[in-house]
Amino acid sequence: MARKEKKEGGRSAYDAALSYLTPKARTVREVELKLDEGNYSEGEIMQTIERLTDAGLLDDEKYAAAFVESRLASKPVSRFRLTEQLRGHFVPDEIIVSVLGSVPEDTELENARSIAEKFARQFSGMEDGEEKRRRIYSRLRTRGFSHETIMKAMNDPEE
């Protein structure tokens, strides 16, 4: 068996990757970048990624699915914003499309309505009118919702 080169405090790339994965799940690219920072060889990085993938410890699709589920449960956002966030974690576009494709279509509108209701309550001290609607619209845009979705959410008879 070939001798494993040790870097970063005498740890092998595999040990360094496991330490990086312990606090939270990571994507393949995030682990590659972390190991690259530790000056591990390209071969050792590739072997480590393969070993972690084979062990089921590194899976971009599972990561993306868990990420989306968590985000939608904790802080409703748009598909657009989820796409940006997943890209920020270096999730490949084909996985993003696949994972977001499994999210029900009505979830986007439900999330926009939920946020609109939250901000309507927050701005309850304001007179109903254009300024209140403008502020709610602005908050929804910052969460990445489209104009069409915002208008549906804000014109909802329940609102």
CATH code of 26's domain: 1.10.10
For residue 16, is it left (φ>0), alpha (ψ between -120 and 50) or beta? Answer: alpha
Q: How confident is the model at residue 157 (pLDDT cuts 50, 70, 90)?
A: very low
Residue 6 falls within a domain, yes or no? no
Summarize pLDDT for 88-124 with one digit per residue, the tens.
999 999 999 999 999 887 899 999 998 898 888 888 7
DSSP 3-state of 101? helix
What range does the domain containing 22 cover? 13-54
Taking the model in full, what pTM does it have?
0.77
Please give the pLDDT value at position 8. Answer: 52
Q: Is pLDDT above 60 for 6?
A: no
Query: Cα(9)–Cα(16) distance, rounded to whole angstroms?
Result: 9
Residue 5 falls within a domain, yes or no? no
Summarize pLDDT for 17-32 with one digit per residue, the tens.
888 888 889 999 999 9
